[in-house]
Structure 1
Amino acid sequence: MSTQVKEHVAESLLKRAHSPDTASTILREKVKQRPLLLRPTSPDPTANPRSKRQYERQQKANKARKSNKPKPLSAKQKRALCIYEIPKEKRKYAVYAPLHRMWCDYMREILDLKDGKRNFVDANIAGPVLVSADYHGALVEVVRSRCHSRIGRKGIVVKDTKFTFEIVTESDDLKILPKEHSIFRFEVPFEAVPEGAVQPKPLVFEIHGSQFENRAPDRANKKFRPHFNPDL
């Protein structure tokens, strides 16, 4: 009793789109008789003395390159070396006064207040600008806070971290002001006007520190969304 030859799966699928002869030809040439391309094996680098010496030199050079690359410092090592701390001899208000003047010029530029173009700002325009602005050099003052001992603290921002403003006061003291549950006030003075003209009063802004709990680089792409703020 002869056994029935089972049809190849690919051939049954090919017959749906081609004639039986064409399907058989495609199956034979493209599937059954298709050549299998093999990549020759790589030669053993230590097969002969010359190749072995070259291989060892290459391995030694690679190892030397890896060992010469310095390893990054861990967070514990950075704290031990005080990399991000301001030296005591640099905690002087006079040192950062020029930085504050540069910051005022920077704020006038991003608020479009330079060259006497205008002497006012709109909340819808100033809001996104203030959110993404850099506050290193700003002269800030705590005007409201749940912690009453912080109220009245005033100084130039020398470090803007995720959760704090580090300021240098006029008495040359370094103070750390947490942003949470605090409102900070700062002024942006206008450019000096010619003699005889009336000098406009500086613009006064107040920001809620809880909305600024981001690193300064991360705030550059932050979108401004006005929403209700709970009472302090």
Structure 2
Amino acid sequence: MEANPHAALDLLKKAHPPETASAIFTEKVLRKPLHLRPTSPDPNRQDARAHRRLQRLRKKEKAKRRQKPKPLSAKEKRITGIYEISKGSQKYDIYVPLYRMWLDYIWEILGMVKGKQTWVTAQAAGAKLASADFHGAKLMVVRSKCVSTVGLRGIVVRDTKFTFQIINAKNELKTIPKTHTIFRFQIPQPDGVEKILDSEKISDISEDEMGPNTLIFELHGSSFEHRAIDRATKKFKQRNMTEL
């Protein structure tokens, strides 16, 4: 007596030839492995919780890379000596080109053009000179409560809020306080000054040797206690000097 055929085999015979239906039935149904327990998960595949954690870490690292580095504090700057001038750099000849650049800079501010007579008045040039940068300027101390600084002159290598640091022809770095000190600086005319500036004795040039119509200014340090970066945007007004 023939056994009852399998229901799956009857369905396969309706869709496929008998040989093909028997092969599919034998491979897919009779020989199909039965798992007693679930197979182990793929070790390379992360679960949802680990995936979310990884995404949060990546997002945090990306935001950290976009942040600007924290600036150094005043204490850290003093410790590292970031603004200190090393002994090897305290040479007058190194800063002579800086003085020449400052002359070009101040000529441009005052509108002094070579081959053209320019009239400079206190009303027109006062505010411009007050907000100018004096790194590279050649200053001389003419009056001060600190008598030992009178007569010192040199090129400004650092302009802080309360001091000028200058280096003189003897390769000496001097720190001069601005308070109760009057500085003098001169601006020669652009005509005929190149020959003087190219000379080796630029540190010994007197006021008379700078050429005719040399402009001489005096700077009152007590009213100039501002950093160079702050003076660039500060508006100065004319007022009486009571201490004089």
What's the TM-score once normalised by structure 1's chain length? Answer: 0.71
Q: Which amino acid aligns with 1:137?
A: G
Q: Secondary structure at the match of 1:176?
A: strand
Per-residue deviation, 1:119? 4.1
Residue 222 of structure 2: which of 191, 210, 220 is its match? 210
CA distance in 2 between counterparts of 1:66 and 1:91 reads: 43
Per-residue deviation, 1:159? 0.6
Tell me, yes or no, if structure 1 residue 225 matches structure 2 residue 224: no
CA distance in 2 between counterparts of 1:89 and 1:83 reads: 15
Q: Which amino acid aligns with 1:59?
A: R
Per-residue deviation, 1:115? 2.3
Structure 1 contact 187–204 (Cα < 8 Å) conserved: yes
Per-residue deviation, 1:113? 1.1
Matching residue of 1:191: 190
> Cα distance 1:227–1:72, how it changes in 2: closer, same or farther (>3 A)?
closer
Q: Which amino acid aligns with 2:225?
A: E
Q: Secondary structure at the match of 1:116?
A: coil
Per-residue deviation, 1:51? 3.1
CA distance in 2 between counterparts of 1:228 and 1:72 reads: 39
Listed one character per residue, the Cα deviations across residues 28-64 of structure 1 (whole Å, up to 9, x for unaligned) are xxxxxxxxxxxxxxxxxxxxx7431221102222444
CA distance in 1 between counterparts of 2:73 and 2:63 reads: 19
Per-residue deviation, 1:65? 4.6
Matching residue of 1:132: 131
Per-residue deviation, 1:126? 1.1
Which aligned pairs between 1:101-116 and structure 2 lie closer than 5 A?
101-116=100-115
Per-residue deviation, 1:78? 2.0
Structure 1 contact 144–151 (Cα < 8 Å) conserved: yes
Matching residue of 2:55: 58
CA distance in 1 between counterparts of 2:185 and 2:219 reads: 9
Matching residue of 2:163: 164
Q: Which runs of 5+ in 1 are unaligned?
A: 1-48
Q: Secondary structure at the match of 1:149?
A: helix
Per-residue deviation, 1:134? 0.6
Per-residue deviation, 1:230? 2.6
Matching residue of 2:88: 89
CA distance in 2 between counterparts of 1:113 and 1:185 reads: 20
Note the aligned Cα RMSD (angstroms). 2.3
Per-residue deviation, 1:106? 1.0
Q: Which runs of 5+ in 2 are unaligned?
A: 1-45, 196-210
Per-residue deviation, 1:172? 0.4
Per-residue deviation, 1:67? 6.7
Q: Secondary structure at the match of 1:54?
A: helix
Matching residue of 2:9: none
CA distance in 2 between counterparts of 1:168 and 1:218 reads: 23
Tell me, yes or no, if structure 1 residue 200 matches structure 2 residue 212: yes
Q: Which has the larger radius of gyration?
A: 2
